[in-house]
Chain A
Amino acid sequence: MSVGALPRFRAENVRGVLRHGLITVVFCCFIAGALTITQHGDWRAQMVYSLSIGLISWLFIDIGRLVISGHKEILWPSGPWGYLLVAGGVTVGFLGGNAIGDAWTHQPLLDFRSFTERRLATTIVITLTATVCMCFFFYSLGKSKHMRGQIELAQRNATEARLKLLETQLEPHMLFNTLANLRVLIATDPPRAIAMLDRLNNYLRMTLSGSRALAHPLSAEFERLADYLELMSVRMGERLRYTLDLPEDLRDAPVPPLLLQPLVENSIRHGLEPKVEGGDIVVRAYREAGRLVIEVSDTGAGLDAERPNTEGSGFGLAQVRERLATVYGEQGRMSLAAEPAGGTRTTVSFPLPPRA
Chain B
Amino acid sequence: MNPTALIAEDEPLLAQALKAELAAAWPELTVLATTGDGRSAVREALRLLPQVLFLDIRMPGLDGLGAAAELADSWPTDEAPMPQLVFVTAYDEYAARAFETQAIDYVLKPVQPGRLRKTVLRLQQALAAQQPARPAAAGEMLERTLAQWREVLAAASGNGASAAPAAAPLRIIAASDAGGSTVRMVPIDEVLYFEAADKYIRVLTASHEYLIRTPLKQLLTQLDPGIFWQVHRAVVVRSSAIEAVHRDEAGKLHLDLRGRPEKIPVSRLYGHLFRAM
Contact = CB atoms under 8 A, between A and B. Distances in A.
Contacts, number: 65
A184 B17 contact: yes
Interface string A177-214: 10111011100100000000000000000000000000
B110 A276 contact: no
Contacts of A275: 60-61
A235 B13 contact: yes
Contacts of A19: none
A130 interface: no
Given A176-B90, A180-B109, A307 B199 contact: yes
Given A237-B12, A274-B60, A307-B199, A179 B110 contact: yes
A177 B14 contact: yes
Interface residues of A, number: 26
B36 interface: yes
A325 interface: no
Given A173-B92, A237-B13, A180 B110 contact: yes
A273 B11 CA distance: 11
Contacts of B111: 180
A276 B36 contact: yes
Interface string B70-99: 000000000000000000001110000000
A235 B37 CA distance: 14
Given A173-B90, A177-B11, A237-B11, A183 B17 contact: yes
Contacts of B90: 172-173, 176-177, 180
Contacts of A237: 11-13
Interface residues of B, number: 23
A184 B36 contact: no
A156 to B, nearest CB: 25
Contacts of A273: 60
A188 B15 CA distance: 13
A87 interface: no
A3 B40 CA distance: 53
A172 B58 CA distance: 13
B101 interface: no
A29 interface: no
A180 B13 CA distance: 9
A273 B92 CA distance: 16
A110 interface: no
Contacts of A235: 11, 13
B16 interface: yes
Contacts of B37: 276
A184 B110 contact: yes
Interface in A244-303: 273-276, 278
A184 B91 contact: no
Given A173-B91, A177-B91, A239-B10, 6 more contacts: A177-B14, A184-B14, A237-B12, A276-B36, A307-B199, A307-B215
> Nearest 9 pairs between A and B by C-beta?
A180-B110, A176-B90, A180-B109, A184-B17, A237-B12, A183-B110, A172-B91, A276-B37, A176-B91
